[in-house]
């Protein structure tokens, strides 16, 4: 490995590892509607309220990065340090599904209040009680976390449907934001391990054309569905988090919690 390549890798790895896990992580296309002759270009972003820094193409930081066009699945290719991380030919016309799954990272909670705020904000009912029942301490415990992101992009006419892509947790759009009538909103379905998540919180970030961001909270029904607003010209990020215990109840032996973050981005054309 050359000195320059090593230094680039070291810098971007340090930057990536410093991401605050409680922030959202999403795929941020530069354009949600492209022609088959265009490139699909987008950043991997981490931040708050639908504003965040872009991160580089780092293969050691993801386990899956691909574009699904109909029955065609193409791995996203790039060079270490490329930014934006996504820059691929658009491919066949229709609805393109960009998929990004990260490797697992670790976070140590040094303050009980931060854990409480996170659990309450993401509406993970019963977690604090379970923490106490397991005899876990208020600080010094480790959580694992990973991200499961999708973005929907219209290539050409944008026809097609979103669908489950086999991630451990994911959000599926049950209408096409580029071709369907969304006057009654866009139905989303939240899945975990292939099954619907009942009573899951979906946090929706809505960015207007002038950049103003509105945040609303939604809860899935008995079939794991929630219908969210979908306004013409607006960009959306939907987020849902699973928190599950590890098999370890001793902080000395390793992580005691794991969070799995699902995200879906799309835009409604004007």
Per-block mean pLDDT, blocks of 10 residues, the chain (270 long): 36 37 87 98 95 94 97 97 97 96 97 97 96 97 98 97 98 98 97 98 97 97 98 98 96 97 97
- Which pLDDT does position 11 carry in this prediction? 35
- Which pLDDT does position 13 carry in this prediction? 35
Q: Which stretches does DSSP call E strand in the chain?
A: 24-29, 33-34, 39-48, 51-55, 62-69, 72-75, 86-89, 94-102, 105-109, 141-155, 169-173, 186-192, 195-196, 201-207, 213-219, 225-228, 235-245, 257-267
Whole-angstrom distance, CA of residue 138 vs CA of residue 129:
12
- Which pLDDT does position 247 carry in this prediction? 94
DSSP 23: S
Q: For the chain, give the percent of residues with pLDDT over 90.
A: 91
pTM of the model: 0.91
- Which pLDDT does position 2 carry in this prediction? 37
CA distances from 224 to 48, 147, 152, 169, 266 (A): 25, 19, 20, 12, 20
- Which pLDDT does position 4 carry in this prediction? 35
**3-state secondary structure at position 117:** helix
Q: For the chain, give the percent of residues with pLDDT over 70.
A: 92
- Which pLDDT does position 23 carry in this prediction? 86
- Which pLDDT does position 57 carry in this prediction? 97
Contact 224, 203 (CB under 8 A): no
Burial (CB count within 10 angstroms: exposed 0-12, middle 13-18, buried 19+), residue 142? middle
Q: What is the pLDDT of the chain when averaged over all its residues?
A: 92
């Amino acid at each position: 490995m050359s000195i320059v390549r090593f230094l680039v890798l070291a810098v971007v790895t340090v930057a990536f590892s410093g991401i605050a896990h409680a922030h959202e992580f999403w795929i941020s296309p530069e354009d949600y509607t492209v022609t088959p002759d265009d490139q699909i270009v987008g950043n991997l972003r981490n931040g708050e309220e639908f504003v965040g820094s872009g991160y580089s193409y780092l293969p050691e930081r993801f386990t899956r990065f691909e574009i699904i066009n109909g029955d065609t699945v193409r791995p996203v290719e790039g060079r270490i340090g490329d930014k934006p991380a996504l820059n691929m030919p658009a491919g066949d016309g229709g609805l393109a599904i960009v998929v990004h799954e990260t490797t697992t990272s670790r976070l140590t909670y040094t303050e009980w209040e931060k854990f409480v705020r996170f659990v309450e904000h993401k509406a993970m009912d019963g977690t604090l009680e379970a923490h106490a029942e397991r005899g876990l301490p208020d600080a010094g415990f480790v959580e694992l976390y990973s991200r499961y992101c999708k973005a929907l992009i219209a290539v050409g006419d944008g026809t097609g449907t979103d669908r489950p892509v086999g991630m451990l947790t994911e959000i599926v759009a049950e209408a096409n934001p580029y071709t369907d009538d969304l006057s009654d909103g866009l139905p989303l379905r939240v899945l975990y391990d292939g099954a619907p998540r009942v009573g899951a919180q979906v946090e929706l970030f809505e960015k207007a054309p002038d950049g103003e961001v509105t945040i609303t909270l939604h809860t899935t029904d008995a079939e794991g569905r929630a219908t969210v607003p979908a306004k013409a010209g607006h960009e959306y990020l939907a987020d849902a988090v699973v928190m599950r215990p590890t098999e370890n109840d001793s902080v000395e032996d390793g992580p005691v919690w794991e969070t799995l973050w699902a995200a879906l981005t799309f835009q409604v054309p004007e």
